[in-house]
Amino acid sequence: MILKFLDLDSQKQNRILNAAMKEFAQKGYKNASTNEIVKEAGISKGLLFHYFAKKKDLFLYLYDYSLEIFTIEFFQRIDLVEKDIFKRIRQMALLKIDLIKKHPELYNFLYKAIIEDTPEVKEDLEQKNKQLLTNGYAKIFRDIEVKKFKETIDTDKVINIVIWTIEGFSNQILEKIKSQYPNELHYEKISKELDVYLKFLESAFYK
């Protein structure tokens, strides 16, 4: 059934995917209306269900689809040879921001999907996420170089501080991207501000 969808010309595919992602991102799974989706996509109600038997199928397909695009591009571009945590995390944060700028709809959809709690889809999402997290995040910090840290330091806690700081910083940026002055945000400037934070932390925790 989804195979039929994949045979469509990609323009129409995208119209449907974008309409659906937008609706789900805006209203969450349950409140999202298939009526709105087809209206926005410019197709008939019947056609949507010709491709996706159920609303849930559409939602989970979108989740897989957008996650795949994100993760594939992420892992292609991340340099895992770099073992220094500050350099590694610097890369990741900038890459993340770049990906979001490049695919804002995907990001909005995913962001919302991750906190989705409608019972109908929650379990399926959690299953998918469990794999993701064990495959993903953990792996990324497994091979970090530890010897540069001050000896007295509890490494796990330091890594947490670094991650939380970078998350806080990213969210601040994203908040600006979303709401207010998206155009004022230049890669250069973000990159520089990020460096300030990382320098702080580096000088604090490295020998």
Partner DNA sequence: CATGAATGAGCGTTCATTCAT
Partner DNA sequence: AATGAATGAACGCTCATTCAT
Instruction: Verify binding: residue 115, a second copy, rule CB under 8 A.
Output: yes
Q: Read off the tokens for 207.
A: 């020998």
Q: Max CA-CA distance within the chain? A: 65
C-alpha to C-alpha distance for 150 and 24, rounded to whole angstroms: 47
Instruction: Verify binding: residue 123, DNA, rule CB under 7 A.
Output: no
Q: Read off the tokens for 29.
A: 């799974």
Residue 69 site contact among a second copy, DNA, none (CB < 5 to 8 Å, cut-off depends on kind): none
Instruction: Verify binding: residue 26, a second copy, rule CB under 8 A.
Output: yes
Do residues 195 and 90 make contact, with C-beta atoms less than 8 angstroms apart? yes
Residue 158 site contact among DNA, a second copy, none (CB < 5 to 8 Å, cut-off depends on kind): a second copy
**Residue 206: strand pairing partners:** 149
Q: At a CB cut-off of 8 Å and minimum separation 6, what does 6 contact?
A: 13
Site string for a second copy, 65-104 (x = CB under 8 A): ----------------------------------------
Question: Segment contacting DNA (CB under 7 A): 6-14, 93-101, 126-134, 194-202?
Answer: 6-14
- Judged by CB under 7 A, which of 50, 139, 150, 157 binds DNA? 50
Residue 136 site contact among a second copy, DNA, none (CB < 5 to 8 Å, cut-off depends on kind): none
Instruction: Verify binding: residue 128, a second copy, rule CB under 8 A.
Output: no
Of the CA atoms within 13 Å of residue 180, those in its CB half-sphere come to 7
In this structure, how many other beta carbons lie within 10 angstroms of the beta carbon of residue 119? 8
Read off the amino acid at residue 1. Answer: M
Q: Read off the tokens for 101.
A: 């700028």
Q: Read off the tokens for 203.
A: 């000088």
- Judged by CB under 8 A, which of 169, 173, 174, 177 binds a second copy? 169
- Judged by CB under 8 A, which of 160, 180, 182, 192 binds a second copy? 160
Instruction: Verify binding: residue 171, DNA, rule CB under 7 A.
Output: no
Residue 129 site contact among a second copy, DNA, none (CB < 5 to 8 Å, cut-off depends on kind): none
**Residue 149: strand pairing partners:** 206
C-alpha to C-alpha distance for 135 and 180, rounded to whole angstroms: 35
Question: Which is closer to DNA, CB of 53 or CB of 161?
Answer: 53
Residues that bind DNA (CB under 7 A): 4, 7-8, 12, 31-36, 43-47, 49-50, 53-56
